[in-house]
């Protein structure tokens, strides 16, 4: 039986990988071994997390976290190489743009093991983002690039991938499969709407965690001032990322919005289902908002998911307080047709087929 190793480091990657793992298990044609690098330490990543989400538990947990980008990537590269030499897989599967992604790609490529990159071809064209560097380098050394959108395909074509011995395929966005699958049961596994007394209430859901916002005090203040202004018209619910919390506390910044502790995946799905709209600097939540038929205000200067903006499901406002408020009013008074198919159907099956063909 052919073997693949899947390398994961952050909770969103586990959620997406669960889609493919279920298909692999059902087909029983490929053996999958999972490595968890430990990049994003998360108390929710316990056995209960894997059981509730029906995710195979990692065979290897490297527990590498809390380090600088260079130290983290270097240690991951070293430890992943040891596992690859022991397991001898036919291919390594990686997701997205984390340090775990590039470390896995480098370790595999140096051992002449095929590299399969899911969520390939995304670009922000902002080289100050560590994620952008990871994306570009990972795509260049992969053997199979599985792209979520036409935009991703076009990005790779502009970079000359047509002339490289790398297979490029548009498969759609695997996160859509995950939201569809878990969305069916999230209301049974989450009581967050009841706990926060949000039944029947209009509220805005916000998440702020990117370094470009948290590490720039002027930007962070502007974003939170915008949220505070919006909260005078509609309740704002903000699950607060530890990095953001630390900086707010360090500078004694307090705002009159509803701040809650970080939430699990099922809670987040329920908040997305019931909210009126979303303000975020997260790439994943931009799409999850769309999958839940919600408009999204993007507090960044760019987005990898430009089709959301082009189709007026999302607006980019950066850290500009007034642009955020204007976007809130525009979306609060508009309706959109969210039935347009931007991200494919049965994406997991398409990805499985491509993986099976290349190994």
Mind telling me the catalytic residues? 209
Task: Give the integer Cα–Cα distance in Å for 324 and 227.
Answer: 8
DSSP 12-39: HHHHHHHHHHHHHHHHTSEEEEEEE---
> Which of 191, 204, 194, 200 has its CA nearest to residue 233?
204
Other beta carbons less than 10 A from residue 247's beta carbon: 17
Task: Give the integer Cα–Cα distance in Å for 271 and 274.
Answer: 5
Task: Give the integer Cα–Cα distance in Å for 305 and 150.
Answer: 11
Alpha-helix residue ranges (DSSP H) falling in the chain: 11-27, 47-52, 69-87, 99-110, 130-140, 150-158, 174-183, 186-189, 192-195, 211-214, 217-231, 242-250, 265-274, 283-291, 306-310, 321-332, 347-358
3-state secondary structure of 300: coil
- Contact (Cβ atoms closer than 8 angstroms) between residue 208 and residue 183: no
> Which of 137, 136, 130 has its CA nearest to residue 67?
130
Task: Give the integer Cα–Cα distance in Å for 359 and 352.
Answer: 11
Task: Give the integer Cα–Cα distance in Å for 270 and 292.
Answer: 10
The dihedral region occupied by 125, where left means phi > 0, alpha psi between -120 and 50, and beta the remainder, is left
Other beta carbons less than 10 A from residue 293's beta carbon: 13
3-state secondary structure of 95: strand
């Amino acid at each position: 039986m052919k073997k693949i190793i899947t390398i994961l480091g952050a909770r969103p990657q586990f959620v997406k990988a669960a889609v493919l793992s279920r298909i692999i298990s059902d087909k029983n044609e490929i053996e999958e071994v999972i490595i968890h690098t430990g990049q994003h330490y998360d108390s929710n990543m316990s056995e209960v997390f894997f059981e509730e989400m029906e995710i195979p538990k990692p065979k290897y947990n490297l527990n590498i976290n809390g380090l600088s980008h260079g130290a983290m990537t270097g240690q991951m590269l070293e430890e992943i190489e040891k596992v690859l030499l022991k397991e001898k897989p036919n291919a390594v599967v990686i997701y997205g743009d984390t340090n775990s992604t590039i470390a896995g790609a480098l370790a595999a490529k140096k051992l002449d093991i095929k590299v399969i990159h899911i969520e390939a071809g995304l670009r922000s064209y902002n080289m100050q983002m560590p994620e952008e560097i990871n994306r570009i380098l990972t795509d260049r050394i992969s053997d199979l690039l599985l792209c979520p959108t036409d935009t991703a395909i076009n990005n790779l074509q502009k970079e000359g991938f047509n002339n490289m011995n790398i297979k490029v395929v548009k498969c759609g966005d695997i996160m859509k499969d995950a939201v569809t699958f878990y969305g069916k049961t999230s209301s049974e596994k989450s009581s967050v709407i009841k706990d926060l007394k949000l039944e029947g209430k209009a509220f805005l859901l916000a998440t702020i965690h990117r370094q470009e916002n948290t590490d720039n005090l002027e930007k962070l203040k502007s974003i939170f001032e915008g949220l505070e202004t919006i909260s005078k018209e509609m309740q704002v619910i903000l699950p607060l990322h530890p990095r953001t919390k630390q900086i707010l506390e360090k500078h004694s910044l307090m705002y009159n919005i509803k701040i809650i502790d970080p939430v699990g995946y099922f809670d987040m799905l329920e908040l997305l289902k019931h909210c009126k709209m979303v303000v975020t600097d997260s790439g994943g939540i931009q799409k999850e908002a769309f999958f839940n038929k919600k408009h999204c205000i993007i507090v960044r200067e760019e987005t990898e998911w430009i089709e959301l903006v082009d189709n007026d499901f999302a607006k980019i406002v950066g850290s500009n307080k007034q642009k955020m408020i204007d976007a809130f009013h525009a979306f609060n008074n508009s309706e959109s047709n969210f039935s347009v198919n931007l991200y494919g159907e049965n994406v997991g099956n398409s990805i499985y087929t491509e993986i099976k063909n290349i190994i």
